[in-house]
Amino acid sequence: MNKQSDKKDIKKLLEIMARLRAPSGGCPWDLEQTFATIAPHTIEEAYEVADAIERGALDDLRGELGDLLFQVVFHARMAEEAGAFDFGDVVAGIAEKLERRHPHVFGERRELGVAEQSRLWEEIKRDERERQHANDASAGPREPPPGVLGDVPVGLPGLSRAAKLGKRAATVGFDWPDVAGVRAKLGEEVAELDAALAGTERAAIAAELGDLLFTVANLCRHLGLDAEACVRGANARFERRFAHVERRIRAEGGDWSEHDAPELDRFWREAKAATS
């Protein structure tokens, strides 16, 4: 495993990327790409990494991590061409950040519990944001400091961003005190959705559904669960159970129209009993 070779050398990957982006003799498709056009591929590769992990497919995970690493190399190469930074700067930046954010490992603050580590992590990140704002202000017109939620990425999936917003607000004490508090809020949101459904205002229904989903995401947060992983799990269970229903339909001739709702529900309950 420790044997060095070009196949396992990051320099080899950087050389390949440079060749792909070479104006003379490079790949036409790679040369046409920009940060904006590559970003959707980056997101897709991250999801494929998560999928391999959830399936416990370590061989697939190795390949998916390589695909994700290539995305990092691709962005770094385009930044280098623009004179902004290169891959080495990316590595140096994350190394410095990890050491700074882990004073209980690399500094003098030792033997911290998990809760204290999490609190310290958020404190350090807040200090970083404030220093960044001060540096930006010194380079131009004075702007008000960003709010508590100011730099939560807008490109995150909706449920992930909802949990992130809730977690960030919690750093200043704006949060439910416990799981019971979030669960009570969930019941409140369901009641408000029912009230909206009694009317015909689609905007009001959409707003209440959004509030309900936001609360669900933060209930997951309080339970230490990832909302996106929970819904992906639900999707996978639905696919498995629906496949069972399809098999039952095919076994009885394949005509869906010949089976009424109660019978389909019976097939579905069979599937729930037979699959996890």
Whether residue 134 is found in the same domain as residue 167: no
Question: Domain boundary residue among 138, 166, 181?
Answer: 138
Residue 214 domain-assigned? yes
Residue 251 domain-assigned? yes
Q: How far apart are CA 168 and CA 160, in angstroms?
A: 12
pLDDT tens for 44-67 read 999 899 889 988 999 999 999 999
Whether residue 21 is found in the same domain as residue 110: yes
Summary mean pLDDT of the chain = 89
Task: Compute the CA torsion angle 119, 120, 126, 129 (nearest 10 deg).
Answer: -140
Q: At residue 2, does pLDDT exceed 60?
A: no
Residue pair 192/208 in contact by the 8 Å Cβ criterion: yes
pTM of the predicted model over 0.85: no
Question: Domain boundary residue among 110, 138, 166?
Answer: 138
What is the predicted pLDDT for the residue at 209? 97
Whether residue 46 is found in the same domain as residue 16: yes
Whether residue 90 is found in the same domain as residue 120: yes
List the Cα angle 233/60/230 in 5-degree steps.
10
Whether residue 16 is found in the same domain as residue 133: yes
pLDDT tens for 107-152 read 776 666 666 777 776 777 777 766 766 666 555 666 666 788 988 8
The domain that holds 23 is classified in CATH as: 1.10.287.1080
Question: Domain boundary residue among 138, 169, 194?
Answer: 138
Residue 153 domain-assigned? no
Whether residue 134 is found in the same domain as residue 163: no
Exposure string over 170-195, b if 16+ CB within 10 A, otherwise e: beeeebbeeeeebeebbeebeebbee
What is the predicted pLDDT for the residue at 142? 60
Residue 146 domain-assigned? no
Q: How far apart are CA 120 and CA 112, in angstroms?
A: 9
Q: At residue 178, does pLDDT exceed 90?
A: yes
Q: How far apart are CA 112 and CA 152, in angstroms?
A: 27
- Domain with 249, as residue range(s), is 158-274
Whether residue 28 is found in the same domain as residue 103: yes
Residue 201 — pLDDT band, cuts 50, 70, 90? very high
166: nearest Cα among 114, 229, 226, 215: 215
Count of domains for the chain: 2
Whether residue 50 is found in the same domain as residue 128: yes
Whether residue 84 is found in the same domain as residue 166: no
